[in-house]
Structure 1
Amino acid sequence: MMKMLSALLLLAAVNVQAALPGDSIYQLNSQWQDRKGHSLNLPELAGKKQIIALIYTDCITACPVIVADMKSIQDALTPEQQAKLGFVLVSLTPARDTPKIMRHFAKKRVLDEHWTLLSGDDDKVRTLAMALNIQYMGLPDGEVAHSNAITVLDEQGRLQLQQVGLPKGPEALIKKMFD
């Protein structure tokens, strides 16, 4: 019975990926680990717009600003909009950002069920960063220099828009996402 269930889930994942457009980030079909320690394949994010950013949990400079900007977007959404949107944070330091660390980070930042925190191996992070045009580089002191972009993916994982910060406020970004 368990093998049959696994086979059906695999077939469903293949069918979802086949239905995705060629320029979808979800074509990467890479497996990640969420803050609960569960495996997640990128195509599982399909069906909702996703606001995604690459951060690391022990950052004290840019990453807290990125998360605060994303939270301000969430706070400005109507309940209907929030139901159509997810928030994804991908760790730039996957060896350090274990599920336990990510759970603590989410609790400290009050990130609710609309937020998905992901960690993968270095190759997956690099591949996703390249697909999103996010540049980053580890520094000798353990910090990470990185692009501070917030990326919006459409329901099929295609890049809808990307920007640094919220220069015109969260409402301007929300208008661009839902118009």
Structure 2
Amino acid sequence: MKTLTLLLALLSLNALAALPGDSLYQLNDQWQNRHGKTLKLQDMAGKKQLFAFIYTDCATACPIIVSELKRIQQALTPEQQQRIGFVLVSLTPGTDTPKVMAHFARQRELDEHWTLLSGNEHQVRTLAMALNIKYMGLANGEIAHSNAITALDEQGRILFQQSGLPDGPEGVIAKMVL
């Protein structure tokens, strides 16, 4: 059993070593997805990803962010959808449990191309800082946050970051060179 554990640890280190130094996937934290499964960011390597930060009980900016990402997904061909993932990271990990995230995904009709992540406060802050996403809690319980969509390449490097869809979903798709 110790040999297997050591082998898995070495494989994990090799996978990290194979990633470029500027890869977001170098962050080695463990997250939970909406199914309660533990995963690392590096598990998303191999296809392009669109990241956004939200919280599930937001009534202002977050629904717009999700709608914009859904517009992008709807503009993709089925072949293109196989080469891109959509990642929503919770800004309120204390309340956005896997069960809450799963309910949110069902309500918004988010399919298997979507990964909803919840971690702890430190993980969220670290990832937000790596992506230059700013956020802070307000006295009324709301979260003020950047409304950026961040596109990553297959190895977790930032391709671009933008707010909104000034050129429509097709503009994002063209920038991602799918």
TM-score (norm 1): 0.95
Following the alignment from structure 1 to structure 2, what is the Cα–Cα distance between the partners of residues 13 and 167?
A: 39
Quick one: distance in 2 between partners of 1:134 and 1:168? Answer: 22
> What does the per-residue CA deviation read over 1:10-61, in whole Å, with 9 as the maximum and x for residues that have no partner?
3322211110011101111111011011111111111110000010000000
Identity in percent: 67
**What is the alpha-carbon distance in structure 2 between the residues aligned to residue 133 and residue 10 of structure 1?**
30
Is the counterpart of residue 24 in structure 1 residue 23 in structure 2? yes
* Residue number in structure 2 paired with 1:62: 61
Corresponding residue for residue 145 of structure 2: 146
- SS of 1:175's equivalent in the other structure is helix
Deviates more, 1:153-162 or 1:7-16: 7-16
Q: Aligned partners of 2:85, 2:56: CA distance in 1, in Å?
A: 19
Give the Cα separation in 2 of the matches to 1:120 and 1:128. 10
Measured in 2, the distance between the counterparts of 1:26 and 1:84 equals: 17
| Structure 2, gaps ≥5 residues long | none
- 1:129 CA displacement: 0.2
The within-5 A match list for 1:86-105 is 86-105=85-104
Count of aligned pairs = 178
1:126 to partner: Cα distance: 0.3
Q: Aligned runs of 1:10-159 on 2, under 5 Å?
A: 10-159=9-158
- Structure 1 gaps of 5+ residues are none
* TM-score, scaled to structure 2: 0.96
> Shift of residue 8 of structure 1?
3.9
1 CA distance for matches of 2:112 and 2:69? Answer: 14
Amino acid at match of 1:29: N
- Aligned-residue Cα RMSD (Å) equals 1.2
Give the secondary structure class of the aligned counterpart of 2:154. Answer: coil
Offset of residue 5 of structure 1: 5.0
